[in-house]
Amino acid sequence: MKSLPTSSIQRSNHNFIVLCLLGLFLAVGTLSLLLGPESIAPGQVLQGLFDPADTIARRIVLYVRLPRTLAGLLAGAALACAGVIVQVVLSNPLAAPSTIGVNSGAGLAAALCCALLPTNLTAVPFAAFAGAFLGAVTVLAIAQRTGASRLTLVLAGLAISGIFSAGVDTILTFVPESLNGYSDFRIGGLDGVSLKQLKPAALLILPALLASLSLHNELDLLALGQEQAQALGLSAKKLRLAALGLSSVLAGAAVSFCGLIGFVGLMVPHIMRRLVGEESGPLLLTCALGGGVVLCGCDLLARLLFAPYELPVGILMSLLGGPFFIWLLLRSRGGRHSG
């Protein structure tokens, strides 16, 4: 039999991986609806979703399990894709929304919005986007001005994160009621998320995911380097700003309802690169699915491992992501390679 061209073989492998991830995405989402401190049978889940009768199962599904599941899938997809975009724009595999000030910038803006507009939940995702964009542009300016190494960029991002965190603490000092349960927000978690919170964030995340996928060719050109991209007729500066805008929408909207969950945007892109390579189209698609699987799956584990006690998923992600980040630092030989 005549062998298929390499590109066709790769495309088939990518399609197979996408189908597997889609199956995992649906399976984890289903298990998240079924399992918890009180397990619910599949029939009760369906009844809770579609039967208007007011039952305990319906209340658990509609007001606890469904918002939490959708939040995990949405936030995971958004943070993972934001991580891919940030890494391409900064040419730095150590970059991620949680390590370069994007998440903390979104947190600062969300806190400010809650202090000034305490009853307007709809404005929080948009404010978080503005804060995330501020963090991303600041790091980009540092990268372009200094030509910094990978480790220097990460340290600059951590410094910016510290500044933004100090800003949040300042807001809480003067307006302590601005973020009720701020410790939960800082740790990151999906407990207590409502459909009312999710709606405005989803209206930002879903179009931003589609827009990111539509720019996959341009991101591939940008990954070649600024000079080569411009030689091919691409305005690298404008594309960088547009891409950072998209990553800020994704990360900011996710942070607005799940808090400062870290490391999803760092771990998932590296895992998916090992499966599908560097091409932005398959990478973004698999990261959207894989990010949802990782975050929703970790949230499910956090619910079940210590039942009846519950571990915030942000803690579990930090326990997994911290060693992963150290491994990446060691792999990059202490950040001596230029970024």
* Spatial distance between the Cα atoms of 85 and 224, rounded to a whole number of angstroms: 14
Question: At the fourth CATH level, which superfamily is domain 6-335?
Answer: ABC transporter involved in vitamin B12 uptake, BtuC (1.10.3470.10)
Tell me if 284 sits within 8 A of 216, measured CB to CB. yes
The CA distance from 243 to 85, in Å, is: 7
- Which tens digits make up the pLDDT trace of 218-248? 888 877 766 666 666 677 778 888 888 888 8
For residues 216 and 334, give the distance between their C-alpha atoms in angstroms, rounded to a whole number: 30
Phi, psi dihedral angles at 338 (to 5 degrees) = -70, 150
pLDDT-derived band at 149 (thresholds 50, 70, 90) equals low
Average pLDDT of the chain is: 82
- Residue pLDDT, tens place only, 27-66: 999 999 988 877 788 887 877 777 777 777 788 888 889 9
Distance of CA 178 to the CA centre of its chain: 24
Supply the DSSP string of 46-113, one letter for each residue: HHHHH--S--HHHHHIIIIIHHHHHHHHHHHHHHHHHHHHHHHHHT-TT--TTTTTHHHHHHHHHHHH
Measure the CA–CA gap between 230 and 226, rounded to whole angstroms: 6
pTM given for the model = 0.84
Q: What is the DSSP string of 234-298?
A: --HHHHHHHHHHHHHHHHHHHHHHH-S--SHHHHHHHHHHHHH-S-HHHHHHHHHHHHHHHHHHH
Residue 148 has pLDDT above 60, yes or no: no
**Every domain of the chain and the residues it spans:** 6-335
Over residues 145-150, mean pLDDT:
64
What integer pLDDT is reported at residue 137 of this predicted model?
80
Q: What is the mean pLDDT of residues 203-230?
A: 84
